[in-house]
Structure 1
Amino acid sequence: MREHAAQAAAPSLLVAPQWIGDAVMAQPLVGLLAARGERVVALGLPGVAAVLRAMPGIERVVETPFAHGRLDLRARHDLARELRREHFARAYVLGNNLKARLVPWLARIPLRVGWRGEAAGALLTHALRAPPSSRRGDVREHYAALAQDLPPPVLGPGLPAQPPHGVAQPVLRVDPARARAAAQEFELPPGFVALCPGAEYGSAKQWPAGHFAALASLALAAGLPVAILGSARERESARAIVETVRARSLRDMAAPRPAVVDLCGHTDMEQAIALLAAAGGVVSNDSGLMHVAAALGRPTVGLYGSTDPRHTPPAAHRSATLWLHLPCSPCFQRTCPLGHLNCLRALDPQWAWSALSELMAVADGA
Structure 2
Amino acid sequence: MPNSHHSATLIIGPSWVGDMVMAQSLFKVLKQQSPERAIDVLAPAWSLPLLERMPEVRNAICQPVGHGKLALGVRYQLAKSLRKTAYQQALVLPNSLKSALIPFWANIPQRRGYVGELRYFLLNQARKLDKNELTRTVDRFVALALPENAPLPEPLPIPALQISPAAVQRALNSFGLQQDKPILALCPGAEYGPAKCWPPEHFAKVAQHQLEQGWQIWLFGSEKDRATAETINQLTGGSCQNLCGKTSLAQAIDLLSIAHSVISNDSGLMHVAAALNRPLVALYGSSDPGFTPPLSENAHILSLDLDCSPCFKRQCPLGHLACLSDILPQDVSRLI
TM-score bracket, normalised by the shorter chain, equals: over 0.9
Q: Which amino acid aligns with 1:26?
A: A
Partner Cα separation in structure 1 for residue 302 and residue 170 of structure 2:
32
Aligned to 1:81: 80
Q: Could you say what secondary structure the match of 2:311 adopts?
A: coil
TM-score (norm 1): 0.86
Q: Which amino acid aligns with 1:336?
A: C
TM-score (norm 2): 0.93
Partner Cα separation in structure 1 for residue 79 and residue 227 of structure 2:
40
Deviation at 1:184, TM superposition (A): 3.2
Partner Cα separation in structure 2 for residue 321 and residue 114 of structure 1:
30
Partner Cα separation in structure 1 for residue 287 and residue 2 of structure 2:
46
**2:25 matched to 1:34?**
no
Partner Cα separation in structure 2 for residue 76 and residue 221 of structure 1:
54
Partner Cα separation in structure 1 for residue 311 and residue 264 of structure 2:
19
| CA deviation profile, 1:260-304 (whole Å, cap 9, x unmatched) | 011111111111111111212111100000000111111111110
**1:288 aligned to which of 256, 260, 268:** 268
Q: Could you say what secondary structure the match of 1:120 adopts?
A: coil
Residues 58-77 of structure 1: matches in 2 within 5 Å?
Answer: 58-77=57-76
Unaligned runs of 5+ in 1: 151-160, 248-258, 357-366
Aligned to 1:173: 162
Comparing 75-84 with 280-289, greater Cα deviation is found at: 75-84
Q: Which amino acid aligns with 1:302?
A: A
Deviation at 1:327, TM superposition (A): 0.6
Q: Could you tell me whether the CA contact under 8 Å between 1:113 and 1:149 is conserved in 2?
A: no
Q: Could you tell me whether the CA contact under 8 Å between 1:171 and 1:295 is conserved in 2?
A: yes
Aligned to 2:193: 202
- Once superposed, what is the RMSD of the aligned Cα atoms? 1.9
Unaligned runs of 5+ in 2: none
Q: Could you say what secondary structure the match of 2:70 adopts?
A: coil
**2:314 matched to 1:334?**
yes
Aligned to 2:202: 211
Aligned to 1:189: 178
Deviation at 1:221, TM superposition (A): 1.0
Aligned to 2:53: 54
Partner Cα separation in structure 1 for residue 21 and residue 307 of structure 2:
29
Percent sequence identity is 40
Q: Could you tell me whether the CA contact under 8 Å between 2:136 and 2:292 is conserved in 1?
A: yes
Q: Could you tell me whether the CA contact under 8 Å between 1:113 and 1:126 is conserved in 2?
A: yes
**2:256 matched to 1:267?**
no
**1:278 aligned to which of 246, 252, 258:** 258
Comparing 170-179 with 311-320, greater Cα deviation is found at: 170-179
Aligned to 1:19: 16
Partner Cα separation in structure 1 for residue 134 and residue 265 of structure 2:
20
Deviation at 1:138, TM superposition (A): 1.8
Q: Could you tell me whether the CA contact under 8 Å between 1:212 and 1:241 is conserved in 2?
A: yes
Q: Could you tell me whether the CA contact under 8 Å between 2:29 and 2:157 is conserved in 1?
A: no
Deviation at 1:331, TM superposition (A): 0.9
**Cα separation, partners in 2 of 1:4 and 1:307, compared to 1, 3 Å:** closer
More helix by share: 1
